[in-house]
Amino acid sequence: MTKKSRSPYSAMHTGPGRALTAVYGVFALSATARAGYQLIREFDVAPIAYTLSAFAAVIYIVATVCLVIGRRISHRIALAACGIEFIGVIVVGILSYTHPEDFAKPSVWSNFGSGYGFIPLILPLIGLWWLIRVGRRANRD
Amino acid sequence: MRHLTRGSARHPENVRPVHDYTGAVFTVYTIVLYAVTGILTLWSIVETIRNRPAGKALLGATALLLLLLIVQLILSIATFGSTHDVDPLLYFGYVITAILVIALAGFWAFAELSRWGPGVLAAAGLTVVVMIERLDQIWQ
């Protein structure tokens, strides 16, 4: 912080972005813990659902780290992570209804994240909205 | 036979007083955890709405919850295996995740000088309320 001036993209994790980053952090931690447990203890029960759980955990970690870094490149990566996250929730949500046998055990994104109060469905939309807003401001300055 | 909320007392082989005592301690401790987490969460929501940054009192409450969760970890390590058939990976996974959530949320909240500092604590508090509920279910 002493050598370089703050990147305009550090706005990613200040103000409302502070709370957004915290929610992403909570999801990164809890999704990782849950996916870790599922992979170690009961992977054979629902391998597709649990692999997707692990994938979701990785996406949440990437998004959180990029929000915390708050620079131009991490802004791009965070946008991509939120996009993948939204597509993931939609695809897994649909698959969990069309192929319920592969989703016998719940994962973060199954049933559009209903097990987590639909936060997984709303979070990427808020994330994308916030990141686009921060990006526009950074370009204007 | 008094029916405690903890499952241990219901098992015929587990009716020795020491287990009843452990069960009662855990029940009381869970209620304390709920109360402290609930107060921290509601307080943080109120401060977010009032547009105040996180102050020293809120920092103290967060530290208290962190301390209580660490005590919970020590208590459950000390009594683990004495009364229950609980998967340690599942149980301690939750306890350690809850500790990490509160510790990291604390640092993250106090780096912010706006209403979103308490906002962070509110999000973390809500998460931990759910986690305490899950811990209670797993332990029973």
| Spatial distance between the Cα atoms of A9 and A12, rounded to a whole number of angstroms | 6
Cβ–Cβ of B97/A19 closer than 8 Å? no
Q: What is the mean pLDDT of residues B9-24?
A: 58
Sorting pLDDT into bands at 50, 70 and 90, what band is A30? very high
Given a cut of 60, whether residue B9 has pLDDT beyond it is no
Given a cut of 80, whether residue B20 has pLDDT beyond it is no
Entry pTM? 0.88
Decide if A129 touches B, using CB distance below 8 A. Answer: no
Percentage of the residues of chain B whose pLDDT score is greater than 70: 84
Q: What is the mean pLDDT of residues B37-44?
A: 97
Of B15 and A31, the structure prediction assigns the larger pLDDT to: A31
CB contacts of A29 in chain B (<8 Å) are: 97, 100-101, 104
Please name which of A123, A61, A66 lies closest in space to residue A89, comparing C-alpha atoms.
Answer: A123
A27: distance to nearest CA of chain B, Å?
10
Cβ–Cβ of B116/A18 closer than 8 Å? yes
Given a cut of 90, whether residue B83 has pLDDT beyond it is no
Residues within 8 A of B (CB atoms), A 14-53 only: 14-19, 21-23, 25-26, 29-30, 33, 36-37, 40-41
Cβ A92 vs Cβ A110: under 8 Å: yes
CB contacts of B120 in chain A (<8 Å) are: 18-19, 22
B101: distance to nearest CA of chain A, Å?
6
**Burial status of residue A99 (CB atoms within 10 A of its CB: 0-12, 13-18, 19 or more):** exposed
Q: What is the mean pLDDT of residues A16-32?
A: 96
Average pLDDT, chain A: 91
Decide if B1 touches A, using CB distance below 8 A. Answer: no
Domain boundaries, chain B: 13-139
Question: CB neighbours (10 Å) of residue B39?
Answer: 14
SS3 of residue B86 by DSSP = coil
B17: distance to nearest CA of chain A, Å?
34
B70: distance to nearest CA of chain A, Å?
18
Decide if B101 touches A, using CB distance below 8 A. Answer: yes
Among B94, B97, B123, the residue with its CB nearest the CB of A22 is B123
pLDDT value at residue B86? 84
pLDDT value at residue A101? 85
Given a cut of 90, whether residue A103 has pLDDT beyond it is no
Q: Torsion angle, CA of B81/B84/B90/B91, rounded to 10 degrees?
A: -80
Given a cut of 80, whether residue A79 has pLDDT beyond it is yes
Of A6 and B117, the structure prediction assigns the larger pLDDT to: B117
Give me A116's structure tokens: 């987590």
Decide if A91 touches B, using CB distance below 8 A. Answer: no
| Spatial distance between the Cα atoms of A45 and A52, rounded to a whole number of angstroms | 13
CB contacts of B105 in chain A (<8 Å) are: 22, 25-26
Respond yes or no on whether ipTM tops 0.85: yes
Nearest CA in chain B to A31: B97
Given a cut of 60, whether residue B43 has pLDDT beyond it is yes
